């Protein structure tokens, strides 16, 4: 089977599965191959299913055999004429909601002589578009005068199209190549807090969180997590998962906690209500009918009930409550809630909120993850 045809197999398999955000995805690879002496650079692309990447070949008349070279995942090179080339590849987030949400597009950014030629350029379409037999990039060939893009769609011959390389039109990326100050490494979390006392608490929380906040944001359990109360069967299969039972708000102070959650097209997040220990679930369910979840933040909470969700002024006000995750945690015997949006491009990346004994809640900590620049 030709490499260009084989690369479609893991994508087709994904499209046949339900669109779940945490489904296994094939690996995508972006590699920079260079023939310095010939002043040739080639950005090449591959999709692999936990295997060594196989990069498509370009016409030898174009790349003089460069696409057949060995190596993978290289990012920088310098050509004989002094031209510097940098490439960085990434992939959008998978979602449990949206058509084709489990198959996100892949993209790359390209810098030549510190000028950004392509920024987040899609080389493998995804989401809904992935069902339409789109063309996938095989390679981007760079010569002193031209940029040539070669693509292949399943069942069609490879197509290569060249355009003149005019670096004067590309902006110099003074941030990417600024060496005057240290950069925060991708994946590292930085803290946002309003005052020194919160900063000390939040710094300690970030350091003590095991195995780590990034794992927590992927749904993995942490050392602070509070076991959820028993699960209550929903009234219908389409309703949210419901957990209801007692929880310690503070040492010696009990509350009833209900956690509604989902990981589907309509509801990929969680919502929490805290009520007096004597309040039955039926009373809370009547106050918050599931079919009206989008409007829950605007509802007046029943007396002595604390409602925690996205879409409130102190917690992701611009995000639907259906797409913010909430994880109950206990720190020194007090209840906190780790919150993070389903869409990981929303800022802050995560927040830690504390329910107040008298009602309501306050956002204590906010954290941002440093992302790779594209």
For residues 107 and 126, what is the distance between their CA atoms, to the nearest angstrom?
A: 10
Q: What are phi and psi of 19, to 5 degrees?
A: -80, 85
Q: Which two tokens stand for residue 271?
A: 């919502």
**Contact between 150 and 138 (Cβ < 8 Å):** yes
This prediction has a pTM of 0.75
pLDDT of 7 above 80: no
pLDDT of 188 above 80: yes
pLDDT of 15 above 80: no
Concatenated DSSP letters of 187-254: T-EEEE-SSHHHHHHHHHHHHH-SS-HHHHTTT---TTBPPPPPEE--SSTTSPEEEEEEEEEETTEE
| Nearest alpha carbon to residue 302 among 225, 249, 254, 359 | 359
Q: Where are the domains of the chain?
A: 3-169, 189-369
pLDDT in tens, 63-107: 999 999 999 899 999 999 999 999 999 998 887 666 667 788 999
**Contact between 45 and 124 (Cβ < 8 Å):** yes
pLDDT in tens, 207-252: 999 988 999 998 899 999 999 999 998 766 667 899 999 999 999 9
Measure CA 49 to chain center: 20
pLDDT of 265 above 90: no
For residues 228 and 222, what is the distance between their CA atoms, to the nearest angstrom?
A: 13
Q: Would you tell me how many other CB atoms lie within 10 Å of the CB of residue 145?
A: 10
For residues 97 and 264, what is the distance between their CA atoms, to the nearest angstrom?
A: 6
Predicted local confidence at residue 195, as pLDDT? 65
- Give the helix ranges, DSSP H, for the chain: 3-6, 9-15, 60-63, 196-208, 213-216, 281-287
Residue 165: pLDDT band (50, 70, 90) is: very high
**Contact between 117 and 41 (Cβ < 8 Å):** no
Average pLDDT, the chain: 88
Predicted local confidence at residue 194, as pLDDT? 60
Assign 3-class secondary structure to 141-162. EECCCEEEEEEECCCCCCEEEE
Q: What angle do CA 336, 338, 340 make, to 5 degrees?
A: 155
22 or 361: which leads in pLDDT: 361
pLDDT in tens, 289-332: 888 999 999 988 888 999 999 999 999 999 999 999 999 999 99
Predicted local confidence at residue 19, as pLDDT? 39
Predicted local confidence at residue 97, as pLDDT? 64
């Amino acid at each position: 089977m030709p490499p260009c045809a084989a690369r479609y197999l893991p994508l087709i398999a994904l499209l046949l599965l339900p669109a779940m955000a945490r489904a296994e995805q094939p690996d995508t690879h972006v590699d920079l191959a260079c023939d310095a002496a010939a002043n040739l650079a080639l950005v090449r692309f591959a999709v692999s299913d936990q295997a060594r990447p196989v990069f498509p070949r370009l016409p030898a008349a174009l790349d003089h055999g460069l696409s057949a070279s060995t190596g993978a995942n290289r990012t920088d090179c310098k050509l004989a004429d002094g031209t510097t080339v940098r490439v960085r590849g990434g992939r959008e987030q998978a979602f449990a909601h949206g058509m084709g949400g489990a198959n996100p597009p892949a993209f790359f950014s390209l810098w030549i002589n510190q000028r950004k030629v392509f920024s987040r350029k899609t080389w493998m379409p995804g989401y809904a578009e992935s069902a339409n037999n789109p063309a996938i990039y095989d390679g981007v060939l760079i010569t002193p005068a031209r940029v040539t893009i070669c693509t292949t769609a399943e069942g069609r011959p490879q197509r290569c199209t060249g355009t003149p390389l005019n670096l004067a039109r590309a902006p110099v990326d003074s941030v990417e190549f600024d060496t005057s100050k240290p950069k925060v490494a991708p994946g590292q979390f930085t803290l946002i807090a309003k005052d020194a006392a919160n900063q000390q608490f939040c710094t300690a929380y970030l350091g003590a969180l095991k195995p780590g906040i990034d794992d927590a944001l992927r749904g993995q359990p942490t050392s602070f997590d509070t076991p959820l109360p028993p699960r209550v069967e929903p009234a219908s299969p389409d309703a949210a998962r419901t957990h209801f039972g007692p929880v310690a708000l503070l040492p010696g102070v009990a509350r009833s906690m209900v956690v509604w959650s989902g990981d589907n097209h309509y509801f990929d997040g969680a919502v929490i209500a805290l009520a007096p220990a004597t309040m039955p679930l039926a009373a809370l369910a009547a106050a918050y009918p599931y079919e009206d979840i989008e409007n829950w933040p605007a509802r007046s909470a029943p007396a002595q009930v604390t409602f925690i969700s996205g879409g409130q002024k102190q917690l992701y006000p611009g995000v639907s409550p259906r797409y913010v995750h909430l994880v109950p945690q206990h720190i020194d015997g007090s209840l906190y809630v780790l919150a993070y949006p389903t869409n990981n491009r929303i800022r802050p990346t995560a927040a830690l909120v504390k329910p107040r004994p008298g009602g309501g809640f306050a956002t204590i900590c906010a954290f941002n993850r440093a992302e790779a620049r594209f």
